[in-house]
Amino acid sequence: MVMVMASSSTAAVHADEGGVSYWLPGRFSSLAATPQVPGWSMAEVYYHTSVSAFGTAAAAREIHVGRIPATVNVDLNLRLNAQADLVFLNPTYTFATPVLGGQLAIGVIGLFGRSSADLAGTLTAAVGPLAVTRTGSFGDSITSIGDLYPQATLKWNAGVHNFMTYVTGDIPVGAYSPTRLANLGIGHAAIDAGGGYTYFNPQTGHEFSAVAGFTYNFKNQDTQYQNGIDFHIDWGASQFLSKQTFVGLVGYAYQQVSDDSGQHPALGGFRSRVLGIGPQVGFLFPVGDMQGYLNLKAYGEFAAENRPAGWNTWLTFSLSPMAPARTVPATRRLTTK
């Protein structure tokens, strides 16, 4: 399973400062902890998302592009709409030599795409006895490259039980401006680490995976804003109908566990939350002497707080070394995200 990550500061990729987080929920799913075949692999993912937000979550975007001074009180009646169409590229190398008894893989993820956002509604700002009401809308879009996301995983196998640990992070080199609604970078560094488990029985075709982790966000030096610590868990459950085809469900839960700092008083701690669930289907097939993998999954979001919510889809294609004939191919490389 290839992990893909992104942050699109269009609020299309959710939470924290202005509705944007480093962690993109859904980047892990089925077979996340199963060992891979040693060697080079490449995953390409097309990701589409469409989200909206109201009230405080929408106002956070207007605040963070500098349209609401931090010294005023605000009454918010705003709606944010955002979309993103992104392509992720994830080259990964899996080592054959064990490390701490497990299998080490390292890689990096880059992205390219388009992000757009618009904000509309009524905002009333007051300074002392003076109040000003403004009604209208504004928006922008950008097509460019995003941040880079290095990653490392270590995996262990014990029969039908598989375990993993991972570390990843954000190198903020993507297109970003603190005065823009839509960005393809988040404007600050981040580090994320966690662990996961996969149950996979090749005889019955039953599979379940869950991966959880925490994100620490560094301060955005352009805005002097620092996102709180985030907790997330991604999961997938599937049933193999054959050695080449499976169907199942995917889901995630995202909860910010500490307050943001440097935020506008109207936002408070601005802790964000969202849940998502949806279907998935996957196919494995030979491509010359390599193994091809195609996966489609979709999430509908709900129970969002201080964060845009909507729906997102992932279409993944990957190439990896072919598994030995004695092993079930489906354990090899389920890229998701």
Hunting for tokens 């460019």 — which residue is that?
144
Q: How far apart are CA 305 and CA 137, in angstroms?
A: 23
Count of residues in the chain? 337
Would you give the distance in Å from CA 114 to the centre of its chain?
A: 16
| 104 residue type, one letter | L
CA distances from 97 to 101, 151, 159 (A): 9, 18, 19
Kindly list the structural domains of the chain, giving each domain's residue range(s) and its CATH number in brackets, ordered by start: 17-125+139-331 (2.40.160.40)
DSSP states of 239-259: EESSSSEEEEEEEEEEEE-S-
**Contact (Cβ atoms closer than 8 angstroms) between residue 171 and residue 179:** no
The dihedral through the CA atoms of 6, 303, 124, 269 has a sign that is negative
pLDDT at 178: 86
Please, which residues have CB within 8 angstroms of residue 303's CB and are 6 or more apart in sequence? 273, 274, 275
pLDDT at 225: 85
Cα 63–Cα 67–Cα 69 angle in degrees, nearest 5: 75
225 is written with which tokens?
Answer: 């804003």
pLDDT in tens, the chain (337 residues): 444 433 334 333 333 555 578 999 999 999 999 999 999 999 999 999 998 876 555 555 555 554 455 544 555 566 778 899 999 999 999 999 999 999 999 999 999 999 998 877 765 655 555 555 666 677 889 999 999 999 999 999 999 999 999 999 999 999 998 888 888 999 999 999 999 999 999 999 999 999 999 999 999 998 888 889 999 999 999 999 998 999 999 999 999 999 888 765 555 566 889 999 999 999 999 999 999 999 999 999 999 888 888 999 999 999 999 877 644 444 343 344 3
Please, which residues have CB within 8 angstroms of residue 107's CB and are 6 or more apart in sequence? 2, 90, 91, 92, 93, 150, 151, 152
Q: How far apart are CA 3 and CA 154, in angstroms?
A: 13
| 5 residue type, one letter | M
Q: How far apart are CA 11 and CA 21, in angstroms?
A: 8
Q: How far apart are CA 198 and CA 217, in angstroms?
A: 28
